[in-house]
Structure 1
């Protein structure tokens, strides 16, 4: 029988075709292979994971801990996580609410799979890390972004505008606080109103809490966990990446209502089955013995924020709101409204690698993200290159 060519080309489904390409990765690719580039485009520091965490995982690997573990994570790691979260938030958070995931972004995807169906409406506060917007879209959810505003040297959320967006037909609200890229942090006094609105309309409140320990004026960011009951539709997603310098380990966690845990275990089975055993050993060491590391990270980031924001703020034509948390400066420069074109120009002319604001949605266009989780001398050299660029 002769082969008959069909008229249908092999393409992914439309939701996948519609995904935004990562503009951060596009800029990084433009600088790959150049040893003269100072990169500040990715969201990670320039120091390796602390030795005691690496040693714990290495020992487990050498001892042969290479087999499957429980879908929800090793029981001893979940207990350590329960102890840590209970200390952090001042309320009991038991293992019946906890799951270990294969990265923080995997936790966000699992949360979306748990609660979103095609056609559901999701509200997101932005500008925002693109994964937070694209994950609901992969699942055919409609996404509306409520924009942050820069005012009086800080990033602010118009709480009334958010409330108007939280309508009875809203299925989920996703809040990232402290926020990537802006460093905005949800004010403590706004939590009750948001939670009450979500309760009234049955809206799922999903927190992307990966930066909750990276704060400057307080030990941790305001959280909904101390306010939530077992019956509340509140999910917290988090990661080991930032607070313990473990970005490449790809391990995260979720806090969910107890009634969701069994279904979450099934979802994990059909996504990744489980996280690697020896990686979980490193995470347990981080939780059990890593408080000093987190304190060091916060101290270093506070100094880096003051260095970078302080210098940017006195550059002519530069607006650099002060972040409340995270490790990013999100700033804009007069006359540079096209962030992609400017980022490419910065690479070519002075060897400086920044992330374009448009990577974080239309709300970020005209802005630039600088990851200042770097050693002081690297930040200083980058600031000199930016000053040279602007002087031209």
Structure 2
């Protein structure tokens, strides 16, 4: 869909298909990156597990959120983006046929990384309650089995925007502990919240410090997608294995990008609060425009889902018609879960279009679908 919209070269097309944002990164990150371009120590394979300043900043961020004491050298390595960190973690902990519990809908990139690592995704459906998403706790319990090796979480999640409640986290953590499994937590969006609930992290729950691996990145909260910098934080007993996988898989990170990432993490004026307010405004406008349609409210993140199947339009067809007749690029959730669950939905990313351009979205849908 991104390629199709690019090929048209029409600036009036609403780009709601790709997880980009038009809000710039922190100024301190830009300055540090420009300085790093000319620095010899940023043009190196070393240190293999990431620059020390960034490792210190990453564990300081997680420790501040969770109260768990972490050592930057023993508990953290830097990855070439968050998804690289997820894949390297899965490669380190999974054997062929091991099962990984994950929600449905889920990012197709996460599902496919489970498969690349030899694992089997065990999908737990999200349900719609009071217009928003909730985790089906009974289905979560049923998903547990003798081959359960990990639960892969993301909150807020992409594409749904679910933000797990304390009750849901308790259920997830209990399952992990009782299964002697790993919790792999993708924390890429954890501060992009549209509720009054603060950040809930699995390390805040009893007994999770020895079985939780947190993968973060600067791509979303700090609007630094092109830097490709993330971090993996976990108990010492698994970090050597993850480090060996990282060396074999990617060798090292983007040297000139790590100083900018460290600057973002340590900048008190990081712009996250202001960016979240802007994204919330865009989300709210879309929810208002589509109030008469089966849209599901996201409580965080950058995207929301519309059940076009309930409207009698297959998402793939809805997507094609939107681009052709409505001037909107949006992505069908084919392959983002089961066909009768995630496969019902069309995704709208609201992080990259200002509210002035989003006004009139409902009329564009009416023009495309005749509804």
The answer, yes or no, to whether TM exceeds 0.5 is yes
Matches within 5 A, 1:11-26: none
- CA deviations over 1:242-270 (Å, ceiling 9, x no partner): 00001111111111111112222221111
Query: Structure 2 CA distance, aligned partners of 1:348 and 1:387?
Result: 13
Decide which of 288, 301, 318 is 1:310's aligned counterpart. 288
1:375 matched to 2:350? The reply is: no
Q: Name the SS for the 1:122 alignment partner.
A: strand
> For this pair of structures, how many residues does the alignment match?
363
1:105 matched to 2:79? The reply is: no
Which residue of 2 is the match for residue 86 of structure 1?
63
Which residue of 1 is the match for residue 35 of structure 2?
59
Which residue of 1 is the match for residue 118 of structure 2?
140
Q: Specify whether residues 153 and 219 from structure 1 end up closer, same or farther in structure 2 by C-alpha distance, changes over 3 A only.
A: closer
- Residue pair 1:69, 1:275 contacting (<8 A) in 2 also: no
TM-superposed CA distance for 1:145, in Å, is 0.8
Decide which of 35, 38, 63 is 2:14's aligned counterpart. 38
1:47 matched to 2:26? The reply is: no
Structure 1: runs of 5+ lacking an equivalent? 1-26
Which residue of 2 is the match for residue 356 of structure 1?
332
Q: Specify whether residues 187 and 231 from structure 1 end up closer, same or farther in structure 2 by C-alpha distance, changes over 3 A only.
A: closer
Query: Structure 2 CA distance, aligned partners of 1:101 and 1:292?
Result: 21
Matches within 5 A, 1:141-156: 141-156=119-134
Q: Name the SS for the 1:277 alignment partner.
A: coil
Which residue of 1 is the match for residue 227 of structure 2?
249
1:124 matched to 2:102? The reply is: yes
Query: Structure 1 CA distance, aligned partners of 2:76 and 2:206?
Result: 14
Query: Structure 2 CA distance, aligned partners of 1:54 and 1:249?
Result: 10
Which residue of 2 is the match for residue 7 of structure 1?
none
Query: Structure 2 CA distance, aligned partners of 1:177 and 1:265?
Result: 25
What TM-score results when the alignment is normalised by the length of structure 1? Answer: 0.87
- Residue pair 1:337, 1:367 contacting (<8 A) in 2 also: no
- CA deviations over 1:84-132 (Å, ceiling 9, x no partner): 2222233323312111100111011011111111121222111111011
Matches within 5 A, 1:222-261: 222-227=200-205, 229=207, 232-261=210-239
- Residue pair 1:244, 1:290 contacting (<8 A) in 2 also: no
1:328 matched to 2:298? The reply is: no
- Residue pair 1:214, 1:220 contacting (<8 A) in 2 also: no
TM-superposed CA distance for 1:323, in Å, is 1.0
- CA deviations over 1:320-375 (Å, ceiling 9, x no partner): 12111101121124434411111011111122101112242222122111111131
Query: Structure 2 CA distance, aligned partners of 1:71 and 1:302?
Result: 38
Q: Name the SS for the 2:101 alignment partner.
A: strand
Greater C-alpha radius of gyration: 1
Query: Structure 2 CA distance, aligned partners of 1:253 and 1:226?
Result: 19
Which of 259-268 and 322-331 deviates more?
Answer: 259-268
Decide which of 297, 308, 314 is 1:338's aligned counterpart. 314
Matches within 5 A, 1:260-271: 260-271=238-249
TM-superposed CA distance for 1:378, in Å, is 2.4
Q: Name the SS for the 1:113 alignment partner.
A: helix
Which residue of 2 is the match for residue 192 of structure 1?
170
Query: Structure 2 CA distance, aligned partners of 1:242 and 1:324?
Result: 16
Q: Name the SS for the 2:253 alignment partner.
A: coil
Matches within 5 A, 1:205-220: 205-218=183-196, 220=198
Q: Name the SS for the 1:80 alignment partner.
A: helix
- Residue pair 1:178, 1:221 contacting (<8 A) in 2 also: no
What TM-score results when the alignment is normalised by the length of structure 2? Answer: 0.92
Q: Name the SS for the 1:186 alignment partner.
A: coil
TM-superposed CA distance for 1:381, in Å, is 5.1
Which residue of 1 is the match for residue 263 of structure 2?
285
Root mean square deviation, CA, Å: 1.9
Query: Structure 1 CA distance, aligned partners of 2:84 and 2:206?
Result: 23
Query: Structure 2 CA distance, aligned partners of 1:179 and 1:293?
Result: 21
Query: Structure 1 CA distance, aligned partners of 2:295 and 2:370?
Result: 18
Q: Name the SS for the 2:306 alignment partner.
A: strand
Which residue of 2 is the match for residue 272 of structure 1?
250
TM-superposed CA distance for 1:383, in Å, is 4.3
